[in-house]
């Protein structure tokens, strides 16, 4: 795949994190297609990674003192985040439709604003490719006249949802697909169909670059178990994936209120068999451990399962550095005990991932803590 001479330098962004290389830059080589598969925490990791690559620096979160008013967060207690449009917190947007459209535009243009039709973004740079085949049936949330069920809307018991995103900037390709544990993977497009040559993806029906919101009776084109999705859909992605980082997250039970079970030995073997043809074709497959969390602030902390995963896959461990954050939970977590209000946690997840995946241009992997 030839992206031309102007796409041969690594794509980098500045980072002030202690886990960043001494250069203060985190980089990824052009020509790579990194596919992230996981739940909403992986989504926020994807958005903040793409935004950092697009703008050249990690997104800086405003302090709580700048937040004007019934909070969804623990740290910004007594204040409202709605309307702030933080890329790593859906509840800071005016509903799912605004979040889907707004974050898609943010990655394309390098800001929260729509770019001019000239094809140039607000910062004078060319527009990145950023599309989202995203759907969320949130009728249960709207009927309740609040957002308290926004986490569980779209499970097998509460309607439907899917979220597939694609980002391309200067020859680097990123894809995100929502995976929710044992729930079937839904969608309307078979994956990225671009070749990096400037094709207008939004005009290609198989790409389906449209945002859908609470359409009555809308059904996905396909609905597959995760292993079957890996076997049949991911091989159709273009450009072909070079690296897949996946996580099964908090959704290994029906709802967040159900005790967390973990992946069984049989399920690990099924996943290993599903990924094996991709690995044989040269695709690097990495299991990212689930971040430490206590769903609903119960007594049970989600297990790492690092050792079980390591029997079959390379492992990126983010459970280890997020576990100490539980001791200062009100500073880091939102009220349900799963998501992070502080963007710096997702930034560190990305720093550790880039240093492990592309160690030769990032000063080696980050030492485990």
pLDDT digits (tens, 9 = 90+) for 84-141: 789 999 888 877 778 888 899 899 887 644 433 334 555 667 778 898 888 776 555 5
pLDDT digits (tens, 9 = 90+) for 29-57: 999 999 999 999 999 999 999 999 999 99
Q: Please name the residue ranges forming H helices in 247-342.
A: 265-280, 306-310, 319-322, 329-332
Give domain limits for the chain: 5-361
Angle at 314 between CA 336 and CA 287, to 5 degrees: 25
How much is the pLDDT for 255? 44
How much is the pLDDT for 101? 85
How much is the pLDDT for 204? 33
How much is the pLDDT for 52? 96
Answer whether 96's CB lies under 8 Å from 149's CB: no
**Structure letter (DSSP) for residue 235:** G
> Three-state DSSP class for 310?
helix
How much is the pLDDT for 13? 97
CATH of domain 5-361: 3.40.50.1110
Extract the residue ranges of the chain whose pLDDT is less than 50.
Answer: 1-6, 68-72, 78, 112-119, 143-159, 193-216, 254-258
How much is the pLDDT for 162? 83
Q: Are strands 185-187 and 161-169 parallel, antiparallel or unpaired?
A: unpaired
The residues pairing with 129 across neighbouring beta strands, listed in sequence order, are 168
What angle do helix axes 96-109 and 40-55 make, rounded to 10 degrees?
30
How much is the pLDDT for 250? 80
Q: What are phi and psi of 133, to 5 degrees?
A: -95, 90
Q: Could you give the CA distance from residue 287 to residue 338 in angstroms, rounded to a whole number? A: 19
């Amino acid at each position: 795949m030839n992206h031309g001479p102007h796409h041969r330098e690594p794509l980098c962004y500045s980072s002030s994190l202690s886990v960043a290389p001494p250069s203060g830059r985190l980089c990824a080589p052009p020509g790579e297609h990194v596919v992230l598969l996981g739940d909403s925490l992986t989504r926020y990791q994807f958005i903040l990674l793409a935004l950092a690559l697009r703008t050249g620096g990690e997104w800086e979160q405003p302090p709580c003192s700048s937040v004007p008013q019934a909070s969804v967060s623990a740290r910004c207690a007594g204040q409202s985040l709605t309307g702030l449009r933080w890329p790593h917190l859906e509840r800071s947007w005016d509903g799912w439709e605004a979040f889907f459209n707004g974050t898609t535009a943010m990655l394309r243009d390098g800001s929260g604003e729509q770019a001019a039709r000239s094809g140039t973004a607000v910062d004078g740079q060319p527009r990145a490719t950023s599309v989202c085949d995203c759907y969320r049936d949130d009728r249960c949330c709207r009927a309740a006249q609040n957002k308290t069920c926004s986490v569980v809307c779209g499970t097998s018991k509460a309607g439907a949802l899917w979220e597939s995103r694609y980002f391309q900037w200067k020859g680097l390709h990123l894809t995100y697909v929502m995976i929710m544990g044992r729930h079937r993977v839904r969608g309307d497009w078979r994956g990225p169909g671009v070749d990096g040559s400037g094709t207008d993806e939004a005009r290609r029906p198989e790409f389906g670059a449209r945002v859908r919101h609470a359409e009555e009776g809308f059904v996905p084109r396909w609905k597959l178990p995760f292993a079957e999705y890996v076997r049949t859909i991911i091989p159709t992605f273009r450009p072909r994936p070079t690296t897949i980082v996946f996580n099964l997250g908090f959704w290994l039970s029906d709802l967040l209120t159900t005790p967390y079970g973990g992946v069984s030995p049989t399920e690990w073997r099924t996943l290993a068999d599903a990924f094996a043809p991709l690995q044989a074709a040269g695709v690097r497959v990495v299991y990212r451990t689930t971040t430490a969390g206590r769903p609903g602030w119960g007594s049970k902390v989600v297990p790492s399962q690092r050792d079980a995963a390591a029997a079959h896959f390379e492992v990126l461990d983010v459970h280890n550095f997020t576990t100490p954050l539980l001791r200062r939970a009100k500073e880091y977590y939102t009220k349900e005990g799963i998501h992070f209000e502080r963007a710096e946690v997702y930034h560190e997840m990305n720093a550790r991932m880039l240093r492990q995946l592309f160690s030769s241009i990032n000063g080696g992997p980050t030492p485990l803590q």
